[in-house]
Structure 1
Amino acid sequence: MESTSQLNTEEQIFPTYKKWNITFKSASGSTITDQKGKTYIDLMAGVGVVNLGHGHPAVLKAVEQQLHEGWHASNFFHYEGQQKTAELLTKYSCGDLVFFANSGAEANEGAIKLARKHTGRRKIISFLQSFHGRTFGSMAATGQDSIHKGFGPMLEGFEYVPYNDVKALENAIDEDTAAVIVEPVQGEGGVIPGDPSFLQAVEAAAKKKDALFICDEIQTGIGRTGAFFAHQHSGLQPDIITTAKALGNGFPAGAVIGKVHLKEAFGPGSHGTTFGGNPLAMAAAQATLQTIIEEDWSQKAAEKGEALINELKKKLSSLSVVKEIRGKGMMIGIELTEPAGEKILKLQEKGVLAIAAGPNVIRLLPPLTIEWDTLMQGVQALEETLNNK
């Protein structure tokens, strides 16, 4: 057995992430600075997490205050922060009840359990190229073979159909279907918006079979697409909404938001978490939600996102390497005719951070609060990169 003393630097960490050659030092607003002192324009927001930018003063103040008051007692206690955060989430959604988790995967895991428990059925339908998490339940719901590879048989009862294909869904859904889970905009799958008529048909098909309709808003929620939740663009009323990423503006927090008729399925002992809904997470989430709502960042994201997409189309559409520019609000995908990875590394050399969504898509998820001039600096770097300059 090899001791850790024989390992090279960082070999004590499992190599689950293909890390960049950047070591984080600090972050502020819409920039990140590395240990060499280089500052980058952040067009990824921690993968759609810091919607209010890094170190937002309202969130920082709330967490700092709670840190001195206490950060853990267990979920046997009532927490005022949980109640206030739940009130905000239910007021600005169609839901009635909230279960707090620590992440998006946990939120989706909870949603899957809730759907099966409430309906007494086992089948969960999701969509090809979807991404719902990496725990066994959320991984089984994910419609990507690359995510399943190497982990043996997936949990039974999951079926995948093509996204934006109403007929395929209607052929798959039956009396054994507990739920249909859908991302209103597929994120990891390539930033693919769901057509409103498709999303409405998914909801109708689920309700026709008395199955639950679940909207995965892990990446799309909390203002990202120009609405508080992305499904609201299409006038949907899901039975369950899951959210995480931006909920705590970087502090780990997730939530399952459900309709009141699901209450009995999640009674005492049916589900739980040690750290979910802890006071620090709730301080961050409450401050984040209040700021998003009071300062109307959803509407600002809609306006800024539309302007950004127009600017990108104006500057990039004529380039031979660009196949399509698509998105919703401040969630944008630039599909290329070649792999995106090399372009993303070239962007880093120019001091701009972006991420991929599948092999050929550059994904832009800037903080909603990013200033327009800074955003345009990022667009200029992107144009130069795609022009091989």
Structure 2
Amino acid sequence: MDTTRQYKELDECYYMPAFSRDMAIVRGEGTKVWDAEGNEYIDCVAGIAVCSTGHCHPAVVQAICDQAHRLIHCSNLYYVPHQGDMAKRLVEITGMHKAFFSNSGAEATDGALKLARVRTGKKKFVAFTHGFHGRTVGSLAVTHKPSIREPFEPLGLIRTFVEYGDVDALKKVVDQDTAGVIVEPIQGEAGVIIPPDSFLEGIREACDTTGALMIVDEVQTGMGRTGKWLAMQHTKVTPDIVTLAKGIASGFPMGALLAREGIEFRKGEHGSTFAGGPLACSAALATIGVIEKILPEVSLKGERFRQGLKKYHPRIRGLMIGITVGDTCPDIQKSCREEGVLVNCAADGNLRLVPPLTISDSEIDRVVRVIDGALGQILL
């Protein structure tokens, strides 16, 4: 088996240095992963909210293997096995009208922006400070963080950023020329920032008043992450367009956008070679089957984290957890890793946990002990 040093040497020689990393994960099972040296960890990063059913869930593995024996790829020139079934399931669990598939969350965002423009005939968009929607040209245009956006400007999209949570500022910029307002119901990359329901209600009102479409980015918050299929289902607000990815297929690359009745792509307006292929749809259908059995437990697991970490004032919705720790976040991440728990530093000194939805109570208790030990040692 290759060592971390060997992975690093190959990476430095042949791979563009776009990432900061210093360990190699080579195996996973359930909530646990192992590095190249055989060290075991409870994984509270989960591929950044991707491995929703844990690593290598038997039902997902079986679905992928069974389909791989029959047909790996089929062009969208033809009807694709499982694609219609997957679209039907997403419509059922989200309450939207129709679906379209992509290969990632960024592609789903691009599709949503295209759909809003073509159906409204308008060009302008409104997005929010600290929001993250992807790194393709289209999705990056509505992503706020200047350090990752500004080097690539101009990005060819007319958009205005408004302070996240500020309804009054939003209503001043959404007008009759606005095609859509794109928002995360909980900001994940910003550190699990949970707005009041009134903010999302204000977006809905502004869109209804002007004819703009409300685009909700559920790439990180969707597929059961917050204890419901969509984070928006914790509110009374219904969006016009929803994007999904990350946890949709347990790690198999896939994304989706869904829209309410009357908003859909027409023939020739959008397409993709690989999107919604038989392997992806098989993995996603199996993923939904696993999640629907454990979905009622997600909020309870989140509350277990809340009770264990309450002295640190965590922000929690289901199994989406953020704690503000400031500049010490890298040290805390390192301390947790040394004790066998993987956590992630999001923006602005926020510790983020997005473990598999299958994490057990005993694993939660161990994670809490490790984090408490690291925070107590470094912060107190």
Q: TM-score, normalised by structure 2?
A: 0.95
| Conserved? CA contact 1:222–1:298, under 8 Å | no
Structure 1: runs of 5+ lacking an equivalent: 1-6, 318-323
Corresponding position of 1:385: 374
Correspondence 1:217 to 2:218: yes
Q: Deviations over 1:154-175 (max 9, x none)?
A: 3231111011111011111001
Corresponding position of 2:268: 269
Correspondence 1:81 to 2:82: yes
Equivalent pairs: percent with the same residue?
Answer: 40
Partners in 1 of 2:288 and 2:29 — Cα distance? Answer: 19
- Equivalent residues in 2 for 1:249-264 (5 A)? 249-263=250-264
Q: Deviations over 1:267-306 (max 9, x none)?
A: 121111111001000000111112212x1x3321111112
| Aligned pair partner of 1:303 in 297, 300, 305 | 300
| Conserved? CA contact 2:218–2:231, under 8 Å | yes
Corresponding position of 1:230: 231
**SS in structure 1 at match of 2:351:** strand
Corresponding position of 2:249: 248
Structure 2: runs of 5+ lacking an equivalent: 1-7
Partners in 2 of 1:371 and 1:353 — Cα distance? Answer: 16
Corresponding position of 1:183: 184
User: Going by fraction, where is helix more abundant, 1 or 2?
Assistant: 2
Q: Which amino acid aligns with 1:109?
A: D
**SS in structure 2 at match of 1:193:** coil
**SS in structure 2 at match of 1:80:** coil
| Conserved? CA contact 2:74–2:80, under 8 Å | no
Partners in 2 of 1:328 and 1:207 — Cα distance? Answer: 27
Partners in 1 of 2:179 and 2:132 — Cα distance? Answer: 19
Q: CA deviation at 1:15?
A: 0.8
Partners in 1 of 2:155 and 2:71 — Cα distance? Answer: 40
Q: CA deviation at 1:327?
A: 2.2
Partners in 1 of 2:10 and 2:50 — Cα distance? Answer: 29
| Conserved? CA contact 1:53–1:368, under 8 Å | yes
Corresponding position of 2:107: 106
Partners in 2 of 1:216 and 1:304 — Cα distance? Answer: 24
Q: Which amino acid aligns with 2:16?
A: F
Partners in 1 of 2:200 and 2:328 — Cα distance? Answer: 30
Partners in 2 of 1:355 and 1:249 — Cα distance? Answer: 19
| Aligned pair partner of 2:336 in 336, 347, 372 | 347
Aligned residue-pair number: 370
Partners in 2 of 1:218 and 1:337 — Cα distance? Answer: 26
Any runs of at least 4 consecutive aligned residues in structure 1 with deviations exceeding 3 A, and if so which? none
**SS in structure 1 at match of 2:347:** coil
- Equivalent residues in 2 for 1:1-389 (5 A)? 9-11=10-12, 12-19=14-21, 21-263=22-264, 266-293=265-292, 295=293, 297-313=294-310, 316-317=311-312, 324-388=313-377
**SS in structure 2 at match of 1:160:** strand
Q: Which amino acid aligns with 1:69?
A: R
Partners in 2 of 1:80 and 1:259 — Cα distance? Answer: 24
Deviates more, 1:167-176 or 1:338-347: 338-347
Q: CA deviation at 1:53?
A: 0.5
**SS in structure 1 at match of 2:152:** coil
Partners in 2 of 1:337 and 1:95 — Cα distance? Answer: 39
